[in-house]
C-alpha cells in the first residue's frame, strides 16, 4: 500500500509530563457485594471498523436513616437568643465544627464603660447531628451546656424539625458525613477503510484499593494506514473523569493512621473533579497508544484518590515516512474545592486546564497526566 504525505508538512515533537498533588479527597469504601469484570479485544483488518465502550459508576457512603446522622434543627421562633462572649463563642464554634453541626448567630459590640468594647454573640439557630446532641457545646466560667440543652433553650422544647439522612445515593446536597465518588470512562474508534490494528483491555473492580492499585484500568494500542488518495481516514476519542465529594466528618471515623487525627479532628468538606481526554481526526497513518487509571474506593481516608492518563502518537513503523499523519489532541483539567473544619464554605479553590493539538506530519506527540488528592500523599 502506498502512503502519500501531506503537501504541506508540519514537523513537531512534543513531550509533556504533568503531576498534580494536593487537595484532600476521602474515598468511600467498598459495598458488601462487589463486582470484577474485564474485557479484552484484538482487531486486525482492512476495511471499515467501528468500536466503542463506556462506563459510568457512582458509589458512596451515606449513614443509615434514623441513625446518628439525622440532623436536629433548633430555630428560635420568639426572639429567644442564647448569648455568649466572643471567647465562649469561639470555643462553641470549634466544638460545633468537631460535631459536624452549624449555627445561625449575630454579633453585637458594646461599650465596656472603660474606653473599650465587649463583643457578644447571640445564637438564634442550631443544627446538630443526632449523635452529637449530648456532647459539650460550651464549658466556661459562665456555665456549661450540651448542644441539646442549647437547642432546647432556643425553642423552649424539642427540635424545630429533623432532617433524616437518606442511607444511599440520592439527589440534593450531601448528608452529614456522606462521601460520594463517580468515575466515567469512554472510548471509540472509527475508520471508513484502510488497514487497522487495535488491541484494548478494560478492567473495572469495585473492591477497596490500596496505594498503587486501581478500580478502573484501561489500555489501548491503535495502528492505522491508508492511501490518502482513497479518502479513507480514521478517528479516535477517549475520556476518563472522576468526581469526588464529601461532607465534613470526624477524622477518627475515616482515617486508620493513628497520626491522622492529631493533624485535624474534622475531615473537611470537598468537591473535586479531574478529567483527561484525547482525540485523533483525519488520520491516514499513525501508531497510537494510551492508558488510563482511577482509584475511587478505599478502606480508609489514608488512601488518596488518583487519576493517571498517558497518550502517545508516533509513526507507523511500516510506513517508511517517519511521521504520523493527522490531527491529534489532548486535554486535562481539574476543579478543586476544599473546606476547613466543619465549614461548608470553600477555603481553597483550584481550576486548571492543559490543552494541546497538533496537525500535519507528527514525529512524536506524548502527554502524561497524573493527579492525586488525599489526606496523605
Task: Give, in order, the Cα–Cα distances in Å from 142 to each of 26, 40, 96, 99.
Answer: 39, 70, 18, 22
pLDDT at residue number 80: 86
pLDDT at residue number 261: 42
pLDDT at residue number 97: 77
Write the Ramachandran bin of 64: left for phi over 0, alpha for psi from -120 to 50, otherwise beta: beta
Q: Between 37 and 256, where is the model more confident? A: 37
Check whether 292 has a pLDDT greater than 50. Answer: yes
Please enumerate in sequence order all residues whose Cβ is within 8 A of that of 21, keeping only pairs 6 or more positions apart, or say none. Answer: 371, 372, 373, 377
**Residue closest to 102 by CA, chosen among 143, 144, 53, 151:** 151
Q: Between 117 and 77, where is the model more confident? A: 117
pLDDT at residue number 274: 97
Q: Between 333 and 112, where is the model more confident? A: 333
Q: Between 19 and 152, where is the model more confident? A: 152
Torsion sign, CA atoms 165, 170, 175, 178: positive
Q: Length of the chain in residues, anyone?
A: 377
pLDDT at residue number 195: 96
pLDDT at residue number 240: 98
Mean pLDDT of the chain, nearest integer = 87
Give me the residue spans of the domains in the chain.
11-62+173-373, 71-163
Amino acid at each position: 500500500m502506498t502512503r502519500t504525505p501531506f503537501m504541506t508538512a508540519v514537523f513537531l515533537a512534543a513531550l509533556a509530563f504533568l503531576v498534580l498533588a494536593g487537595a484532600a479527597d476521602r474515598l468511600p469504601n467498598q459495598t458488601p457485594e462487589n463486582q470484577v469484570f474485564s474485557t479484552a479485544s484484538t482487531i486486525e483488518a482492512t476495511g471499515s471498523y467501528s468500536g466503542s465502550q463506556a462506563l459510568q459508576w457512582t458509589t458512596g457512603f451515606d449513614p443509615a436513616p434514623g441513625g446518628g446522622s439525622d440532623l436536629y434543627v433548633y430555630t428560635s421562633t420568639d426572639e429567644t437568643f442564647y448569648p455568649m462572649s466572643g471567647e465562649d463563642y469561639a470555643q462553641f464554634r470549634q466544638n460545633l465544627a468537631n460535631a459536624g453541626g452549624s449555627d445561625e448567630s449575630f454579633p453585637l459590640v458594646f461599650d465596656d464603660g472603660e474606653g473599650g468594647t465587649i463583643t457578644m454573640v447571640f445564637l438564634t439557630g442550631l443544627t446538630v447531628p443526632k449523635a452529637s446532641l449530648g456532647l459539650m457545646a460550651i464549658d466556661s466560667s459562665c456555665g456549661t451546656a450540651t448542644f441539646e440543652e442549647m437547642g432546647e433553650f432556643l425553642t423552649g422544647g424539642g427540635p424545630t424539625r429533623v432532617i433524616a439522612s437518606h442511607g444511599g445515593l440520592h439527589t440534593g446536597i450531601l448528608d452529614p458525613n456522606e462521601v460520594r465518588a463517580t468515575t466515567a470512562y469512554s472510548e471509540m474508534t472509527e475508520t471508513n477503510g484502510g488497514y487497522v490494528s487495535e488491541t484494548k483491555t478494560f478492567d473495572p473492580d469495585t473492591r477497596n484499593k490500596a496505594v498503587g492499585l486501581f478500580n478502573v484500568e484501561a489500555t489501548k494500542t491503535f495502528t492505522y494506514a491508508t492511501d490518502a488518495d482513497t479518502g479513507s481516514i480514521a478517528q479516535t476519542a477517549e475520556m476518563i473523569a472522576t468526581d469526588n465529594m464529601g461532607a465534613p466528618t470526624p477524622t477518627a471515623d475515616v482515617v486508620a493512621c493513628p497520626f491522622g487525627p492529631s493533624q485535624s479532628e474534622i475531615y473537611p468538606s470537598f468537591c473535586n473533579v479531574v478529567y483527561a481526554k484525547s482525540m485523533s481526526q483525519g488520520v491516514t497513518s499513525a501508531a497510537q497508544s494510551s492508558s488510563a487509571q482511577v482509584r475511587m474506593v478505599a478502606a480508609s481516608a489514608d488512601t488518596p484518590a488518583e487519576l493517571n492518563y498517558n497518550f502517545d502518537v508516533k509513526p507507523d513503523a511500516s510506513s517508511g515516512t517517519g511521521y504520523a499523519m493527522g490531527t491529534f489532541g489532548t486535554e486535562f483539567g481539574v476543579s478543586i474545592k476544599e473546606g476547613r473544619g466543619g465549614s461548608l464554605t470553600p477555603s481553597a479553590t483550584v481550576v486548571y486546564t492543559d490543552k494541546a493539538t497538533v496537525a500535519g506530519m507528527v514525529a512524536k506527540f506524548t502527554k502524561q497526566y497524573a493527579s492525586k488528592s488525599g489526606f496523605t500523599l
